[in-house]
Chain A
Amino acid sequence: MKSFTQIDGLVAPMDRANVDTDMIIPKNFLKSIKRSGFGKNLFDELRYMDEGLPDQDCSHRPLNPDFPLNFPRYQDAQVLLARENFGCGSSREHAPWALDDYGFRCVIAPSFADIFYNNSFKNGLLPLILPAEVVDQLFAEMYANEGYRLHVDLAAQTVTTPSGESFSFEIDEFRKHCMLNGLDDIGLTLQEADAIRAFEEKAKQTTPWVFGMIKA
């Protein structure tokens, strides 16, 4: 997994609450059997004026001129500033894959949907929670200042504005550790294989019907 230590990134807005996973990456693009290449279809129905198709060359599609990610000032943004309950809806990991593939490294919002939040950490995309009033302030500063950047430091758990104002954020210790070091979750869990086997042996006595029923 890609590690995340700190970034100094241009900030772009997604200024609405309850941004759902169908909005982030519509279902027609979920047919891919790969993990990459979803960036060109990020926010597809908001970003383009026409209906997108899988495997399509998007470079000639008509862009929605009112959608902020199409504005020149937000090109190459790495931080997405968003509102409450970002990522609600389905469990599709294609949502963080699309954000990551587009170039975002961090999404800042007052709250996230549980599954999206969890999926983001598996892909080196930092979902960062700040209080609603701080997010309001960041939106206002971003709109007022073209080229607005934020410095995100995961080890220090801080977000720093261009004026030097700093906000701290909370994050689970284990998630922070994996993210900072780009650790492979599966490899870590397999270090506990003995404990898993011991659990299984006990469970075979207490709930034997869980085992062996589904056979090829």
Chain B
Amino acid sequence: MAGKTLYDKLWEAHLVQNRDDGSALIYIDRHIVHEVTSPQAFEGLRLAGRPLWRADSILATPDHNVPTTLSERAKGVDGIEDSVSKIQVQTLDDNCDEFGVVEYKINDARQGIVHVIGPESGACLPGMTIVCGDSHTATNGALGALAHGIGTSEVEHVMATQCLVAKKMKNLLIKVDGTLGKGVSAKDVVLAIIAKIGTAGGTGFAMEFGGQVFRDMSMEGRMTVCNMAIEAGARAGMVAVDDKTIEYVKGRDFAPKGEQWDQAETYWRTLVSDDDAVFDKVVEINGSEILPQVSWGTSPEMVLPVNASVPEPQLESDPVKKSSIERALSYMGLQGGQAITDIKVDRVFIGSCTNSRIEDIRQAAEVAKGRKVADSVIQAMVVPGSGQVKAQAEAEGLDKILVEAGFEWREPGCSMCLAMNADKLGNGEHCASTSNRNFEGRQGYGGRTHLVSPAMAAAAAIAGHFVDVREF
């Protein structure tokens, strides 16, 4: 009999029972909750008179709507100037209080973006099933966990039953061997993967990232990669447990201690795909050939190496693809054949659940050190992913380096990744952004997003246009 994949093992360990109709009931260990996708779920419970199945499975925090300026933030929920955002954050507080859910409130030192604080607090651990009403929940798969986004109806379902009705996905292995070149980061790796397989390449699959590049990668880097599994169509991305995973988890607030730690570590070390495991699909990429990446269009698959030129629609024979290239070029205000390095940037955003961890801030600061943001750049902001990342960065003096270079140093939250708070792009502005989606209007009405790594974003801020960070 063939061996099992990591996903097979995680699935089997959480299978409550198979149903006759081909679906299955899967037990959920951890549920992370934020203000945007939970109010209707709490309301549903109230209307049906249903209690939470297990309140101690939930950790909540507001992140999407929170302001990131200190002046607005200092006054807590009351200080949120956008009245609609304020209601949503207040509603989360009220619901958590009513249902007895632990919440890191807006000015708690542990508050942050859900997918940053999950691993950071130890609330999310290897071997767990983890859900959140947010598609970037796959980030937690970096721990060797089965983590994925769900809709609000499923948020309510998990709150009431601690389970999800699911069907087993297929197994996809993304194998990246070789060694990454200087200046090439986890973000470039995942953008290159999406460029290769497309935004629907992983639909229906659980995606495991394997190979030397991921073995060599830090936990933060693995989180960046798993975070964007959904941009390749896969709900769940994951990396097998190894020494780095164990070291990362050890000592975190909600991680097991003492004897339980030993029991946990022994179990976690089994969370790897067996040598003879069979994947339904395998994609191999040579990591040594990956260059720094920049997205040019309005879908995360519209990505090219920094030394390339924007595609020319007349060279595309497929009519649906041709028209999508034309539409993207028109929205982005670009000419086919234009060099990526000729694209000027108006704003720079370093942050989001993809790239707001300490390693990301370090990479940005390394590039920014002793340099200045170009005069032509309206704004360059760095938004740490959590209160703890912020504190760590400040302890290392990274905030000073960035501020001296002309970057704004903000309070933690989702910020300009999706512009639900006050941080937005203006109409027609180009942004070098370390976030995960370059959809039309994502970062502000008419805004033009280019997805890049933190080092590439910092370099673009200084040059005023995209540059190859390897030559910077």
Chain B min CB distance to A75 (Å): 25
Confirm or deny: A100 has a beta carbon within 8 angstroms of a beta carbon on chain B.
Answer: no
**Chain A residues whose C-beta falls within 8 Å of the C-beta of B151 in the assembled complex:** 91-93, 96, 115, 118-119, 122
Q: Which residues of A contact B167 (CB under 8 A)?
A: 172
Among the stretches A62-70, A81-89, A140-148, A162-170, the one at the interface with B is A81-89
Let me know if B127 and A196 touch, CB within 8 A: no
* B330 contacts across to A, CB distance below 8 A: none
A61–B318 CA distance with the chains assembled, in angstroms: 36
**Roughly how many angstroms separate A156 CA and B411 CA in the complex, as a whole number?**
55
Structural contact, A27 and B419, CB atoms closer than 8 A: yes
Q: Given A172-B22, A189-B163, A216-B55, check contact A85 B233 (CB 8 Å).
A: yes
* A-B contacts besides A51-B446, A118-B154, 8 pairs, CB < 8 Å: A16-B324, A22-B442, A23-B439, A31-B87, A89-B135, A111-B200, A114-B233, A195-B25
- Contact in complex: B40, A195 (CB < 8 Å): no
Interface presence of B112 (CB below 8 A): no
Q: How far is the CA of A93 from the CA of B84 in the complex (A)?
A: 19
In the assembled complex, the Cα of A199 lies from the Cα of B13 at a distance in Å of 10
* Contact of B16 with A113 in the complex, beta carbons under 8 Å: no
Q: Nearest chain B CB to A186's CB is how many angstroms away? A: 5
A60 at the interface (CB under 8 A from B): no
Residues of A within 8 A of B256 (CB): 208-209, 213
Q: List 6 A-B contacts (CB under 8 A).
A: A31-B36, A93-B151, A114-B233, A185-B157, A212-B56, A215-B56
Q: Which residues of B contact A153 (CB under 8 A)?
A: none
Which 4 A-B residue pairs are closest in the complex by CB-CB distance? A209-B256, A122-B153, A119-B151, A93-B151
Q: Does A103 interact with chain B (Cβ within 8 Å)?
A: no
> How far is it, in angstroms, between the C-alpha of A213 and the C-alpha of B121 when the chains are bound?
11
Point out the residues of chain A lying under 8 angstroms from B152, CB to CB: 35, 93, 119
How would residues 151 to 169 of chain B score, 1 for a CB under 8 Å from any chain A CB and 0 otherwise? 1111011001111010100
Asked whether any CB of chain A lies closer than 8 Å to the CB of B235, the reply is yes
Contact present for A91 and B163 (CB under 8 Å): no
- Whether a CB of chain B sits under 8 angstroms from the CB of A76 is no
Q: Give min CB distance, A147 to chain B, whole Å.
A: 26
Say how far B236's CB is from chain A's closest CB, in angstroms: 10
Task: Check B48–A51 contact: CB distance below 8 A.
Answer: no
- How far is A193 from B91 in the complex, measured between Cα atoms in Å? 29
Contact A23 B127 (CB under 8 A): no
- Distance A89 CA – B300 CA, assembled complex (angstroms): 10
With contact pairs A213-B254, A216-B101 given, residues A192 and B16 touching in the complex (Cβ less than 8 Å):
yes
* Cβ contact of B156, chosen from A34, A90, A186, A214, cutoff 8 A: A186
